[in-house]
Structure 1
Amino acid sequence: MQEKFTPPFSGELLSKRKKLRRELLESGADFIDKRIAILGGSTTHDIKDALELFLLHHGIRCTFYESEYAQYWQDAMFPNPELEAFRPDIIYIHTSNRNISRYPLLSECAEEVDALLEAEFAKFSGMWDRLRQVYACPVIQNNFEYPFWRLLGNRDAADFHGRVHFLTRLNLRFAQYSQENDSFFINDVNYLSASYGLEQWSDPFYWHMYKYALALPAIPYLAHSVANIIKSLYGKNKKAFALDLDNTLWGGIVGDDGAENLQVGQETSMGQVYSEFQEYIKAHKQLGVILNVVSKNETENAMAGLNRPDMTLKPDDFIMIKANWEPKSQNIIDIAHTLSLLPESFVFVDDNPAEREIVRQQIPNAAVPEIGEQPERYIRAIDRMGYFEVTQLSGDDAARNEMYQQNAARSRAEVSFADYGEYLQSLGMQAEIQAFAPMYLSRIAQLTNKSNQFNLTTRRFTQAEIEAVAQDDRYITLYGKLVDRFGDNGVVSVAIGEILQKPEGSLCDITLWLMSCRVLKRDMEFAMMDELVRQCQTRGISRIVGHYYPTAKNAMVKDFYTAEGFTLDCEDEQGNRSYHLDIPSDYPPKNRYIAVNHAGEACGSVTSILSKEETINDKRDRV
């Protein structure tokens, strides 16, 4: 099935849509359900059908609202009971350069063209503002492909009268709006059409015959791009690379050819190809993508290759290096376990088709790009898939590699202690647990869509929804930020409790509780519970209600509430559970190892935290 959703896309995606849809729905995937409104400036039916397939492939099952032909602006700007009742989770506006009201005339002066541009931008920005006000959900907007003819030839790009110039300026205004407004995202049709081939993309036959703004064969590429944005918003991105070495990161086989004879670096054309590929892979660290090696090699040989002075990727760039003769699928599973990730979070890159097929069979939901046999094609094969589509880029993303390096150091430290409690004490942990703060709202929203394993209700929130909850007195909101002597883990836990008034008194109903798996078994869950109890007591609330809704990924928290002292009230046939805790007046705190900051002050640096901690019989020296 995976190959059907890998470019180049065949016509089967549309011609066999019903069969593919049925197979995807029957695949047993753990779907999340979303409502998507498509507001189109042209015919959108096949776009909707293709988008549905790509989203099902990503584990997102959707219902759709589709505007009538070219009614996108009217649907957005005027009262629309049908769309309001639909309550979209995402709105996608499919427009093209065919929807530009008017282009500049050669007789117009620069000021008149500027006014024309501002009027065109105002038409769109006013629509986006209203959609945000009425529907408070993410909006995805196409930018503009270039025109397929140029009245001024090459001058069309430079002269203010030119259509190319006009569309370039308008695209920049769209980009600026996106930078200034959260939950607004650009679907880069300008790039897609260039990559596909503008003449083929904008074939006028499809417009005049069917009122399609792009050629029918190009629709899967458009839908793939929109689906990448949506799956990123809902935490479906991949998180890590698992990379082969021989003939993947370098040319040659290090065990046979020797490290000195590998093809890499600037001396040969093929060496330059492999160096460019390494540069591409290394750049992903800036996004927080985790790099790992899985290679059938002796460790000594693998390290000799990676330590060559002309290697772009060095051993320190990788979180884990598995160079051995074990099955690569097992190595990926082992890495995933060590890093508290799901195996399906990985993108496995290997030049050997047999190894690729084994990983596909053993880890069905891992990404295995068909990179082919030409190293110069590797980048394109990976990049066009959108495995790591960026919709939000937080400081925690940029620091993720460092955080996982720190976690590896924690794991090494753990084995030096006979007593786990002494190990936790040695970490000198301090948490900042506070109500949602503006500076963390983006990260909080991101966590709600990324966390799957330690997630009791698996509810997903957009940033706009998180902002609304943060401002609503009916909710208790908590984020948890954890630092220790190895470094800052960032925001790692989120809880939302809705205050409900019942005849017997008010209670706190936990609608969301999640935690990053990288801080499991560190007492952070107890620290969060203690603070939630404290907040409830402050508000005169004596009962907390919690829920566990099982998914294919969150079995690890099945008995979480029992461990927290809650009483099970009911469980249905699907395994959905409800619990309650009647807070005793002398509630005993469960967190034993984390110093919690309640005062609204930012957590101090690791150095300052450690300076406040007592030395524990010099046990830190043993780490």
Structure 2
Amino acid sequence: MNTLFGYPLDSKMILKKRKQLKRQLLEKLGTEVGLNRKIAILGGSTTHDVKDMLELFLLDAGIVPEFYESEYDQFWQDVMFDNQELVDFQPDIIYIHTSSRNIKRYPQMQDSSESVNDLLEETFQHFAQIWDKIAQKYQCPIIQNNFEPPFYRLLGNLDFTDIHGRRNFINHLNEKIVQYEGTHDNFYINDIAYMAASYGLERWADGFAWHMYKYACAVEAIPELTYNLANIIKSLYGKKQKALVLDLDNTLWGGVVGDDGANGIEIGQETSMGQLYSEFQTYIKEHKDMGILLAVNSKNDEENARAGLSRPDTVLRAEDFLVIKANWENKDKNIVEIAQELNIGTDSLVFVDDNPVERDRVGQLVPEVKIPVMNDPAQYIRILDRSGYFESTSLSAEDAKRTAMYQQNAARKKAQASFTDYTEYLQSLDMKAEIAPFAPVYMSRIAQLTNKSNQFNLTTKRCTQADMEQYASNKDYITLYGKLTDKFGDNGVVSVVLGHSDAEDASLFHIDLWLMSCRVLKRDMEVAMMDELVVKCQLRGIKVIKGYYYPTVKNGMVKEFYQQQGFTKVSEDDKGNTVWELHPEEYAKRNKVIEVIGTND
């Protein structure tokens, strides 16, 4: 199933076998708990196939969608006139599936520049009205298509530059949407302008499909469109990969370094193939710069592998990789070890290898790893890029520093080895924690963390940024983020806690979410967070704090977390779900190694 729903897509087959594929995906999920989400599709065109295709891609990612569909071209009315069915649906996400076909008026040749500008603003406001209304009424993420170029150019090349040109008009309209996105949280653009260009505008703008069925694009383009859309939704809920694991020979360079020697491999500007591999290495390094972790998994002597990475004309250097496995072990074994060393799940890895035998073995033995089909070096970038493994709905400052943070962790482990007393080691780190209620400056990272942390996560509650903003503004909730620094560097925001007072008993407090990044495990950050939470509860007159643990395949490490924090277990069901209680007046602060600063209400 991994290959079937990976890029490049077999659109004809997916469209033809949609029902069979849905059954298979549901069977694959089985009793596994999926992430249930309500998605409203508000269409300016026929959306039935959009819904069907989107459902398949989301099910493949473990997201179980429930849909609301507007009637044909009723997207504006459904929002502005509060369609009761949509109101009752209470969507988690609203997707507005519009296209250039929904632009009702374009500039006419007799229009003045002032008239064209007025028309542009009027057209933009027609959409901005519903975005603002959705934000106010539903407070959920909005995904809006931008607009693909019109399928003909009345003015030829002048259509791009003249104010009367349709393409000029669409370009300026898209610019205004980008400006809106830059000033509004929880608003995301599905870039169908790129999708149409990549697919081929003439094929995309199928006149028969529009006039016969009111499809905004060719039927066979719908899987491509919804695959791109699904990547946005998956990213919103943390369903994306964290690391690239790369082969070397004929993947990062041409040739076999063990046979050809470092001077004989193809890389650099001297040959066309060398240029091609250099371009691919540049593309990979750009991923590192946006926070993707890099590792090597190569059947090679490590000395030869490092020699290849030391050439003066190579883009990627040994220091760009957090782990280098250059040995003669099976690559599936190396993959598992790489995940362990990076302290992430194997389902967070993308394995890139030109050898189909190696890909097949890893796929058979570690099936949760994403494995793109990489046969032609000229297509490497296109395949990886369109696969959407690392789709981001936002980029935080911490993303750019992620590799450095992992390197700092390695330095901490090295320092730990020189201590015999662990408490003395922790004290030597000179740790300082900023623990405070959710702050706007960190809201994107807070939401990101809730969707990425799987191991130290007691309830695995998934939240969007919009959800977190609602919790932060609700007086019944206590929210806390924890930001940790030490003498080796800044770990960033690493912990999130939120909970609410009971609606019927104000002296009872429920912890809804408690999570922490695994990169600060065993540093007593959880102890410092608990100390601060208890203080906040005491200030509100809370008499009982209830904590909940819901087991998953990944969070077994925190099964006894509440016991370790002084809670008493009050119940456990046959699925292992447990409920714990703490009386704040009996709690004594336990943090001895972290200086807590910057707390406020």
TM-score range, shorter chain: over 0.9
- For 1:578, the aligned partner's letter is V
Please state if 1:120 is matched with 2:123. yes
1:463-474 aligned at under 5 Å gives the runs 463-474=465-476
Q: Which amino acid aligns with 2:229?
A: V
> Map of 1:223-262 to 2, 5 A cutoff?
223-262=226-265
Q: What residue in structure 2 maps to residue 178 of structure 1?
A: 181
Identify the residue that residue 414 of structure 1 maps to in structure 2. 416
- In 1, the alpha carbon distance for the partners of 2:134 and 2:338 equals 43
CA contact (8 A) 1:295 1:323 kept: yes
Report whether the alignment pairs 1:444 with 2:446: yes
* 1:571 matched residue in structure 2: 572
* Match 2:108 to one of 105, 114, 137: 105
**Structure 2 CA distance, aligned partners of 1:599 and 1:549?**
29
- Structure 2 equivalent of residue 355 of structure 1: 358
Q: How far apart are 1:565 and its partner, in Å? A: 1.6
Offset, 1:186: 0.6
Q: Report the equivalent of 1:482.
A: 484
Compute the displacement of 1:592 (Å): 2.5
Counterpart code for 1:449: N
Q: Is the CA contact 2:419–2:425 (under 8 Å) kept in the aligned structure 1?
A: yes
1:46-89 superposed Cα distances (whole Å, 9 cap, x missing partner): 11000000001111100000001111111111122111111100
The residue type paired with residue 238 of structure 1 is Q
State how far apart, in whole Å, the 1-side matches of 2:588 and 2:284 are: 49
* C-alpha displacement of 1:30: 4.3
1:165 alignment partner in structure 2? 168
Match of 1:218 in 2: 221
1:501 & 1:185 partners in 2: Cα distance? 34
CA contact (8 A) 2:11 2:224 kept: no
Once structures 1 and 2 are overlaid, which stretch shifts more, 491-500 or 28-37? 28-37
Q: 2:65 matched to which residue of 1?
A: 62
1:5 partner amino acid: F
Greater CA deviation, 296-305 or 214-223?
296-305
Cα deviation digits, residues 462-509 of structure 1 (max 9, x gap): 212211211222111111011111110000000002112655x60221
- Secondary structure at 2:118's aligned position in 1? helix
Q: Secondary structure at the match of 2:4?
A: helix
Return the offset for 1:418.
Answer: 2.7
Q: Which runs of 5+ in 2 are unaligned?
A: none
The residue aligned with 2:4 is 4
Aligned counterparts of 2:297 and 2:200: Cα–Cα separation in 1: 37
Kindly provide the amino acid, as one letter, of the partner of residue 534 in structure 1: V
Alignment of 1:513-552 (within 5 A): 513-552=514-553
Distance 1:182 1:366 in 2: 32
What is the DSSP-based 3-state SS (H/G/I as helix, E as strand, rest coil) of the residue aligned with 1:26?
helix
| 1:404-461 Cα shifts (integer Å, max 9, x gaps) | 1111211222223233223222211111111111211111111112211111111122
Determine the C-alpha separation between the residues in 2 that align with 1:583 and 1:502.
19
Between Structure 1 and Structure 2, how many residues are aligned? 598
Find the residue that maps to 2:282 and give its secondary structure: helix
Alpha-carbon deviation of 1:590?
A: 2.2
Provide the TM-score with structure 1 as the length reference: 0.94
Deviation, structure 1 residue 9: 2.4
**Who is 2:321 aligned against?**
318
Residue equivalent to 2:345: 342
Q: Which amino acid aligns with 1:485?
A: K
Report if aligned partners of 1:4, 1:10 keep a CA contact under 8 Å in 2: no
Larger mean CA deviation between 303-312 and 470-479 belongs to: 470-479
- SS of the aligned residue for 1:91 comes to strand
CA–CA separation in structure 1 for the residues paired with 2:238 and 2:343: 16
1:75 and 2:74 aligned: no
CA distance in structure 1 between the aligned counterparts of 2:557 and 2:53, rounded to whole angstroms: 35
TM-score, normalised with respect to structure 2: 0.97
Q: Post-superposition shift, 1:132?
A: 0.7
SS at match of 2:445: helix
* Partners of 2:11 and 2:221 within 8 A in 1: no
Question: Which piece of structure 1 moves more, 557-566 or 53-62?
Answer: 557-566
Q: Aligned residues: percent identity? A: 60
* Contact in 2 for aligned 1:141/1:186 (Cα 8 Å): yes
Local SS of the residue matching 2:140: coil
Root-mean-square deviation (Å): 1.4
User: Does structure 2 retain, via aligned residues, the 8 Å contact 1:9–1:221?
Assistant: no
User: Does residue 392 of the first structure (1) align with residue 412 of the second (2)?
Assistant: no
Q: Is the 8 A contact 2:435 2:599 kept in 1?
A: no
Paired residue for 1:14? 15
Shift of 1:336: 1.4
Q: SS where residue 275 of structure 1 aligns?
A: helix
Distance 2:401 2:121 in 1: 39
Equivalents in 2 of 1:352, 1:595: separation in Å? 51
Structure 1 residue 556: Cα displacement = 1.6
**Aligned residue for 2:429?**
427
Distance 1:301 1:453, change over 3 A: same
Tell me the equivalent position of 2:273: 270
State the alpha-carbon separation in 2 of the partners of residues 420 and 76 from structure 1: 58
Q: In the alignment, is the contact (CA less than 8 A) between 1:35 and 1:90 conserved in 2?
A: yes
Which letter does structure 1 place at the counterpart of 2:222?
Answer: I
Following the alignment from structure 1 to structure 2, what is the Cα–Cα distance between the partners of residues 569 and 600? 32
Deviation at 1:216, TM superposition (A): 0.5
What is the DSSP-based 3-state SS (H/G/I as helix, E as strand, rest coil) of the residue aligned with 1:584? helix
What's 2:557 paired with? 556
Amino acid at match of 1:463: Q
Displacement, 1:540?
A: 2.0
1:473 and 1:216 map into 2 onto residues whose CA distance is: 48
Secondary structure in structure 2 of the residue aligned to 1:11: helix
Measure how far apart 1:329 and its partner are. 1.7
Q: Give the Cα–Cα distance (whole angstroms) in 2 for the partners of residues 104 and 390 of structure 1.
A: 35
Letter of the structure 2 residue corresponding to residue 122 of structure 1: Q
Q: Bigger CA drift: 20-29 or 127-136?
A: 20-29
Partner residue, 1:613 = none
